[in-house]
Each structure stands twice: as structure tokens, then as C-alpha cells.
Amino acid sequence: MRSAPDPEQGPSRMSRLPESSAASPGRSPVDTAIWCAQRGWPVHPLVPGLKVPAANCQSCREQNHPVEKCGCIPAGRWCHGFHAATTDLTQIRTWWDTQPRFGVAVACGPARLVVLDVDAHANEYPSRERLLPGIPIPAAIDLAGLENGFHTLALLAAYRRQQNPCHDETTLRVETASGGMHVWYTVPDGMRIRSSSGAGAKAALAWQVDVRAERGYVVAPGVRSKKGRYRPVGPVRSPAPLPEWLANELIRTGHGIASSNEPHGKPPRPLIRRTKQTVDGLTRLLDDVQACASVSEGTGFTSKLNVAAFTAGGLVAAGRMSHVEAVARLTQAAEAARPTQQHKIARTIRDGLKAGAARPLHLEGRS
């Protein structure tokens, strides 16, 4: 068990606090923290009324040292934000007994959570290529009325012919204090997801749609800030499994991380293994598929996609890549060439992967 917080972070008054209900977040911050911890979600304190982590101790503020070499977390202090997150109820009571008005944050990585943080900022939308990264939006599509992340996420869902996650009544959804929404999901086994900002040009799911996952945190349901309360929407209080189509989109937009035994606090590694087979084999086939964009007919598009899917199926069967990654890469290349043939593309990919799975592709010298 961790020791009491550093005296510089406030006096400790150990008191027994009631257990929170399993059905919904508690009324007080400590009850909310306990409620989260009991669900297996590590928590850490936020500055009262704000959504930033509680301040480090003076020593950590003065020293520019890496988290791995800091003794504060093993000593039970809340330094370094989500790195200090815990499910230890005694530690949680100690922290919030020190400052009962602390807010509550959940560390998404160790909780195996991915949260879509949909913003509703009144900003002018950027260029079309940044609204849905990697998906071209023709000039003929009227974007009048598009104002925020609710609209871009709805646009992405409509493009994929899937349910808008903001309307997903099977999972925990939280209305944020600024009028946005957090849509909570659990991460599939064997998959890791990196955090990103919806304003980023290189890694974003959609404009004004942030991704809270590894190396990130999210404000817990029920927390009150200076702007208002993080209010759960509807009766569901548990995150549902991440839908496959969203998993594919996260992989496609660069949010995937290679699985490893490294602690979640360490920098992520790229998802795709740069082996000779994947680079020289599948990548070349995907380039051929995408090159069909230059001509509308007579390119053998379906045949080329089928060969690529068959090859990807063999790589999946051999454990060289995940099924989610394979679908995402195939879909990205195919839709770049034939953006209006989504159903045909999905069917071809499905059939090709299934056929390829019967013929695992192993690397030279490997069984």
C-alpha cells in the first residue's frame, strides 16, 4: 500500500468514508473516485473546478526528471497526473481527505478505455481535407451548418453507414461542462490506442473529436467544474466494447499502438510491423489497388483488391498483423480508389480475408 502524501501537498486526515454505489457516480468527489476505482478505472486528482491534474510537489516542480525515476508515485503522492492514477481505495481516501474538492480523472490507458471527446467549440471549420483525415470530401457536398465535432463525427458515421456514436445508447455517454460529449468504450483485447487531438493535422479521428486513450485521461462522470457538471446521458453507466468500424477508423487514422509488455506510461511504438513480408508484399498490393483511382474503369480493381485481401488474410492467420489492422489498411486503399463502392469493397475484403486465412503467410526462416 502506498504511504501518505507528501506534507507539501496538504495535511492528511485519515477518515473512513462511505463506499459509493455501484449503480452511479457518488454525490461527492471522493465517492465518484471510489465508484470509478471499484469498476477497475485508476483515478487521479484534478485541480478543484478545473480539468488539469493536481499540482506536483515542489521537488517535482523544481526538477526536470523522468517519471520512471521519480519516487513520489511509489510513495503515494499524486505527482505526474495520470502516471499516479490508482484503484487503491485507501490511497484514494487519503488524497481526497487532503482536499475534498479535488476533481476526479480516469487514466484511460490502464483502464483499457478509449473515449471519444466530442467538442462543440464555435470555430470556423478548417479545410475539407482536415474534417475527416484521409477521407476526401468532394466540393459538391454542401457543408453549410457544419460547426463542431458533433457534426464531423456524424459525417464520419454516415460515410461509413454506421450509427453515430453520440447516439449510441448501449454505452456510457457523458455531457461535458462545455456542451460537448464523452463517448466511452472499452478497448478490444490485443489492441492499444494512442490519444490525439481533434485539432491535429497528422493524427485525428475527425475535426473537434479528440481521442482519450493511452497517455491520456478523461474527467469522470458526475464531476463538477467551474463551467458545470459532467452529466451522464441516459441510464447506461458502463462502456460498451469499441465497435469494429470505429476500431478500424482508429487504426486507419494512426491511433493504433503495437501491443507489448511495456508499462502504459512509456512512449508507444508504431502499430504496423515493418517486416519484409508486410512492406514488400501487402504494401505493394495496396499501392496497386489505390492506383486504380486514376481510371474509373478497366483497371481490374476488384481483382486487385481481392488479391490484397487474400494476402492480408494470410498475414493475419500467421500472426503478422491484427484483423482490425488488415481491414483498416485494405479499406483505406480501396476507398481512396473507389469512394462510392463501399458495400462492394466491404464484401470483397471480407471474402478475401476469409480465403486468405486458410493459407497463413510466414516469413522466411520462420514456421
CA 205 – CA 209 distance, rounded (Å): 6
Nearest CA-CA partner of 206 in 256, 139, 159: 159
The pLDDT, as a whole number, for residue 203 is: 67
Q: φ, ψ for residue 347 (rounded to 5)?
A: -65, -45
**In tens digits, what is the pLDDT along the chain, a chain of 367 residues?**
343 334 334 333 333 333 333 466 878 999 999 999 999 999 999 999 999 999 998 888 888 788 888 899 999 999 999 999 999 999 999 999 999 999 999 999 999 999 999 999 877 778 888 899 888 888 888 888 888 999 999 999 998 999 999 999 999 999 999 999 999 999 988 889 999 876 655 568 999 999 999 999 999 999 999 999 999 999 999 999 999 999 989 988 889 885 544 444 444 443 434 344 454 578 888 888 888 887 777 788 888 898 888 888 888 887 777 888 888 888 888 888 888 888 889 889 998 898 888 877 754 444 3
The pLDDT, as a whole number, for residue 202 is: 56
Q: Are 316 and 322 in contact (CB under 8 A)?
A: yes
Domain ranges of the chain: 7-105, 112-257, 276-356
Neighbours of 173 (CB within 10 A): 23
The pLDDT, as a whole number, for residue 277 is: 46
CA 6 – CA 221 distance, rounded (Å): 28
The pLDDT, as a whole number, for residue 294 is: 77
Task: Specify the 3-state DSSP secondary structure of 217.
Answer: strand
The pLDDT, as a whole number, for residue 260 is: 47
The pLDDT, as a whole number, for residue 261 is: 45
Q: At a CB cut-off of 8 Å and minimum separation 6, what does 339 contact?
A: 136
Determine the distance from the C-alpha atom of residue 43 to the mean position of all C-alpha atoms in its chain, rounded to a whole number.
17
| Cα R_g (the chain), whole angstroms | 23
Please provide the distance, in angstroms rounded to a whole number, between the alpha carbons at the two ends of the chain.
45
The pLDDT, as a whole number, for residue 266 is: 47
CA distances from 336 to 64, 112, 223, 340 (A): 45, 32, 42, 10
The pLDDT, as a whole number, for residue 30 is: 96
The pLDDT, as a whole number, for residue 199 is: 60
Neighbours of 166 (CB within 10 A): 18
The pLDDT, as a whole number, for residue 367 is: 38
The pLDDT, as a whole number, for residue 92 is: 97
Nearest CA-CA partner of 230 in 177, 178, 171: 177
